[in-house]
Chain A
Amino acid sequence: MHLLSQLLGRPVRGETNVPLGTLDDLVIRMEEGPYPSVTGLVVRAGRRRFFVPANQLRELSGVALLSSARVDLKQFQRREDEVLLGRDVLDHQIIDIAGHRVVRVNDIQITQVDANFRVVGVDTSLKAIVRRAGPRALADRIVGGQIIDWADLHYLAGTAPVRLKVSYDRLAELHPVDLARIVDALSLRESATIVAALDDETVAETLEEVSDSRLADLIEGMDQERAADILEEMDPGVAADVLEDLDDTVAEQLLAKMEPEEAAEIQTVLAYDEDSVGRIMITEIVRVAEGSTVGAALALLRSLDDVPNPLLAVYVVEQDQPETLRGIVRLRSLILADPATPLQELMDEDMPTIHPDAPAEQAARLLAEYNLLALPVIDDEEHLVGVVTVDDALAVLMPEIWQRRSSRMFH
């Protein structure tokens, strides 16, 4: 096991111990496997920097020993997909996927696997800084550190001055909350690169958890067509909040680029005050006509293209007036009942409802008092316009969740 900081600047010798120069850097290629292999050395001799391919490297401890003394002294020129470990990785930021953090590379671990030298991990500990800052003679005495496996890291494509193909698969698998934490911790430009590489749905879910100002900056900075696509994927309430944070003209342009249906939904939400029930309710609910059976309701659910998530209940409405609520059948009752049972027998008719203009906090309180999972929202015309779920209400009750989302400061 070698540490990059202890290799750089060390002598490079050829066969028969001919001194050739000092080790300036190590070249790696990113795309091959979880542990990139060292493809060559950059050796410095005087003002000249030249490249030695890794197959000439025999030993890498204290001195770098080559298998021959013949080297090509042509000035080193970086090729498109080459990353320099010392210049482009050491001291740079990198994403610790497992820890969902952004860390700085204080040292790099290299190990010999068969004939290849491979990068296996990075040290992010304070110890590594002390080891590198102190005199070289004492460096060996500072052992240990906090090593993160290279396979658990995501190298930021913008870090090296070359075009790199970096896989975003592992990042895309993260929970949106964890990914949002990373997006918040990176600089705006780097977070924009990540957002640009992920699909609309992942981005929408992630951005719902990102701080308000970062969210507005990212949306404003991206192509308007893409921004519109992402807003469509978002919860209309969150999308409305985003649009309100943007410049009016930009917000209008984005709305115009969205699918009319989604835009209309957001505009409906925008009509309600911030912190009102209208803002946090979900409008996607399943309405079943009065007189249906359990079996018919289940069949309806299965036939839907877009099933609301979370799905807590179905709403029984009047036969020819789908706006008028008759009662609620909870998912639990629906699943347990015999398919032939009419919904009327299962439905709850006497439940609290709330007005869309009421404060969101009041909805949260009702949900808690009545032990409900969802609360129907009924407007002035006695129309069912949506429901407030316990999920959405929780965020209202727990201010620290909002505080996290509130804002970033300059730094």
Chain B
Amino acid sequence: MKTPDRTLALPRDGQATGRPKPSLRARLLLMMAVVGPGIITANVDNDAGGITTYSVAGAHYGYSLLWMLGLVALALIIIQEMSARLGVVTGKGLADLIRERMGIRATLAIVGVLLIANLANTVSEFAGVAASMEIFGISKFISVPIVAVGVWLLIVKGSYKFVERIFLVASALYLTYVVSGIMANPPWAEVLQASVTPTFHFDSNYIIIVVTIIGTTIAPWMQFYQQASIVDKGLRVEDYAYERLDVIIGSVFAVVIAAFITIACAATLFKHGLQIETAKDAALGLGPLAGSNAAALFALGLLNASVFSAAILPLSTAYVVCEALGWEAGVNRNLKEAPVFFGVYTALIVLGAGIILLPIKSLIQAMLASQTLNGVLLPVILIAMLVLINDRELMGDYVNGRIFNIISWAMVVVLIGLTALLVITSVFPNFLT
């Protein structure tokens, strides 16, 4: 042994001897290191399309859809927990697992639909950017290109830690909706009662909004994104308890925000019988009814959510495509090494932003259609996830328990039923009447 000739930084608190039980501080630190994927993912799903959907739900159906959000939160937790468990146990992304365990045809079908759905979603994010900036009097011809270029540069040139920090801060900005909701001064007793009283109507608009709420809150692409960020963070089975907490906190937070958006619109627009089609209408409608501050906060929230999702969605999609089909991926590659990756990523941003700038009137339909497409794709993804998580060769002792399986399969059946109803009612509008 050489003798130390210079001073050394020695471990503090005598941690060198054995491995004592981690202190509270150490556990908090570990938790801070693990937290992120769940919260960020849950928030990204309150994107421009989500905000539009919750606004429309509140404006057209008042508080009567609030009861559903509790169930949606439960479903969200169940699904995101499975996605987290898949990532933690296998160390692989969802696209990876689908390709390896389910073969090429299933992979191509899922990736194909996801690509279309995510393009539609990206369009709706840029629509959200355009709408929110227009409320502040800025033309979409200025705002959309700036955000598109900014987002592209942030992801390609920024570092992950930096971007994750920005996203966590941006998550806090969602609280603007809580403030908007409170400023709308809703009758709280009525809100609470509606939240626990289930009601259901068999008309096609109602079913569309129900499926759309599910499709936007539990989006297919989130499963890919969350699992990938867990894998990339290198979380292991030992971190799982913290990751589950991350998932639960994120899911509850996301649904609480959704509830406040619905409440804000119900307390004002629904009460005065105003019909809206977009989140922009909602913000504009809020102005005279709840004060211009409430409207500005609503618009700011929309801008934040849109930019946030416009940054993550195209990237996540590019990773999924390359992962599934075996092309090189990663922002630390150069264009020559990973042409498909950068191609898909750039194309989604360019198309997403470009379509918004075209003089097309039926954009709202396109946005709603993207959410409906999510709802249709979701059961497929869920079935794939359930098959994978019950694969003992893959998951070992971490397969689903019996009760968990019953609940999750029941959920998938309900979702498939709702989706089928949606498809039928859109083909035969008078089917239910």
Interface residues of A (CB under 8 A from B): 91-93, 101-106, 124, 126, 129, 132-133, 161, 184-185, 187-190, 211-213, 217, 220-221, 247, 249, 252-253, 255-256, 259-261, 263-264, 267, 400, 403-411
- Mark contacts of B57-85 with chain A using CB atoms, 8 A cut-off: 1 yes-contact digit, 0 otherwise: 00000000000000000000000000000
Query: In the complex, A271→B218 CA distance in Å?
Result: 49
Cross-chain pairs A/B with CB under 8 angstroms, 7 sampled: A104-B99, A184-B330, A213-B161, A264-B8, A404-B332, A408-B332, A410-B225
Query: In the complex, A336→B4 CA distance in Å?
Result: 41
- Closest CB in chain A relative to B35 CB, distance in Å: 14
The interface residues of chain A lying within 8 Å CB-to-CB of B189 are: none
Please indicate which of the listed interface residues A189, A220, A249, A409 has the most CB atoms of chain B within 10 Å of its own CB.
Answer: A409
- Closest CB in chain B relative to A85 CB, distance in Å: 13
The interface residues of chain B lying within 8 Å CB-to-CB of A263 are: 8
- Closest CB in chain A relative to B321 CB, distance in Å: 11
Beyond A249-B12, A408-B332, 13 additional contacts (C-beta under 8 Å) are A92-B100, A102-B328, A104-B326, A129-B108, A133-B108, A184-B332, A188-B91, A249-B15, A252-B12, A260-B3, A261-B5, A407-B159, A411-B232
| A410 and B332 contact, CB distance less than 8 A | no
Known A-B contacts A161-B393, A188-B91; A409 and B163 likewise in contact (beta carbons under 8 Å): yes
| A253 and B11 contact, CB distance less than 8 A | yes
Query: In the complex, A220→B233 CA distance in Å?
Result: 11
- Closest CB in chain B relative to A197 CB, distance in Å: 16
Query: In the complex, A255→B16 CA distance in Å?
Result: 12
The interface residues of chain B lying within 8 Å CB-to-CB of A409 are: 155, 160, 163, 315, 330-332
| A260 and B6 contact, CB distance less than 8 A | yes
| B332 and A211 contact, CB distance less than 8 A | yes
| B9 and A213 contact, CB distance less than 8 A | no
Quick check: is B309 within 8 A (CB to CB) of the other chain? no
- Closest CB in chain B relative to A138 CB, distance in Å: 14
| A189 and B234 contact, CB distance less than 8 A | yes
Known A-B contacts A161-B393, A188-B91, A408-B232; A267 and B9 likewise in contact (beta carbons under 8 Å): yes
Quick check: is B265 within 8 A (CB to CB) of the other chain? no
| B332 and A406 contact, CB distance less than 8 A | yes
Known A-B contacts A188-B232, A252-B9; A133 and B105 likewise in contact (beta carbons under 8 Å): yes
Known A-B contacts A161-B393, A260-B6; A253 and B15 likewise in contact (beta carbons under 8 Å): yes
The interface residues of chain B lying within 8 Å CB-to-CB of A261 are: 2, 5
The interface residues of chain B lying within 8 Å CB-to-CB of A187 are: 91-93, 96, 231-232
Query: In the complex, A185→B9 CA distance in Å?
Result: 35
Quick check: is B329 within 8 A (CB to CB) of the other chain? yes
- Closest CB in chain B relative to A257 CB, distance in Å: 9
Quick check: is B323 within 8 A (CB to CB) of the other chain? yes
- Mark contacts of B1-41 with chain A using CB atoms, 8 A cut-off: 1 yes-contact digit, 0 otherwise: 01111101111100110000000000001000100000000
| B159 and A406 contact, CB distance less than 8 A | yes
The interface residues of chain B lying within 8 Å CB-to-CB of A129 are: 104, 108, 325
The interface residues of chain A lying within 8 Å CB-to-CB of B161 are: 213, 407
